[in-house]
Amino acid sequence: MIGPDKIAKMMKRVFIGYKCSMLPDLVTAAGKMKSTLKNASVKWASPLYWHITSHFIGKAGNEEIEILKAILREVVSGTEPFTVNVQGIGFFPNADHPRVLWSGVSPVDKLSKLYYRTGALLRREGFETDKRPYSPHITLARIKHCNDPGVTKDIESSYKEHIFGTLDINEIILYESRLSPEGAKYIPLARYPLAGHS
């Protein structure tokens, strides 16, 4: 018999999302922000793992992962690829109390449509979904503390309207999130091209 500890180790920490290519302009901006925030305690996300999260699932076993794969096959059916702008820099919850540094995407209508469609199918299969309004973004860094809110406000205003490039949304990915002392690594478990993408 497999014990609970072994079962826990077999579980994967998973989420649904979209890959973000390493946009040179955003990489450059991130480098400048690192310098600006040098006196803050910040953990930067590697551009290799930049992504837009759709739904965070949490721990899932093999059976649940197969259900998630079936859901994503259903989601992509009849959904055409589209393009979004990667635009602006912001902070969650805000620049006065920054915890997450992010870049936004626009327009959000098609991503939101996919999000709510996926959420409905997840709930149908018994998965819990986030009840907060969807705000698609690319997490660039997590901030432990920053003693100078003026710095974060300056960053936000400097890049408010800046477009870093475009992102082709042509597949949905089921990711595994592997935590390590060096930071999280996001490993694709399955990829599902949107209809019409070869």
Active site residues: 51, 137
Residues in the chain: 198
Nearest-10 Cα torsion for 21, 23, 29, 34: 30
One DSSP character per residue, 71-122 reads: HHHHHHTTPPPEEEEEEEEEEEE-SSSEEEEEEEEE--HHHHHHHHHHHHHH
For residue 176, give every residue at least 6 positions away whose Cβ sits within 8 Å of its Cβ, in sequence order, or none.
Answer: 12, 13, 14, 186, 187, 188, 189
Which two three-digit tokens encode residue 67? 């259900």
Q: How far apart, in whole angstroms, are the C-alpha atoms of residue 11 and residue 60? A: 5
